[in-house]
Amino acid sequence: KNQVEQSPQSLIILEGKNCTLQCNYTVSPFSNLRWYKQDTGRGPVSLTIMTFSENTKSNGRYTATLDADTKQSSLHITASQLSDSASYICVVSAIGGSYIPTFGRGTSLIVHP
């Protein structure tokens, strides 16, 4: 069964600090992995996509990594800002079949001033 597990479930950090969110998956055969950001009361928005051949990809202060061998991904946020407070969701897609990706439950990040 395809599964996506995220850790930690929640995280509180001070503004300006860095943090790393983790994602482990068992989706197979692997197609791609996306990180989404969901602000409170809004729909999720895609931050970055990782394919099998990619190890690292950055989007501003967000850097995603992928280890396809261990089936792990991380999202590193540098110099956090108050606006980074949100839920970060790891979503993994499999090759072929229907267009239904597998969602993790998300990590709730709170950035305090």
Partner 1 sequence: SQTIHQWPATLVQPVGSPLSLECTVEGTSNPNLYWYRQAAGRGLQLLFYSVGIGQISSEVPQNLSASRPQDRQFILSSKKLLLSDSGFYLCAWSNRGAGNNSPLHFGNGTRLTVT
Rounded distance between C-alpha atoms, residue 13 and residue 91, angstroms: 24
Q: Is 93 in the site for partner 1 (CB under 8 A)?
A: yes
Nearest in space to 91 (alpha carbons), one of 107, 77, 109? 107
CA distances from 35 to 89, 101, 113 (A): 6, 12, 25
Of the two residues 77 and 90, which places its CB atom closer to partner 1 in the complex? 90
94-113 residues in contact with partner 1 (CB under 8 A) are 94-95, 98-101, 103-106
* Binder of partner 1 out of 24, 31, 63, 65 (CB under 8 A): 31
Terminus-to-terminus CA distance in the chain, angstroms? 41
Shortest reach from residue 108's CB to partner 1, in Å: 8
44-73 residues in contact with partner 1 (CB under 8 A) are 44-46, 49
* Binder of partner 1 out of 1, 14, 43, 69 (CB under 8 A): 43
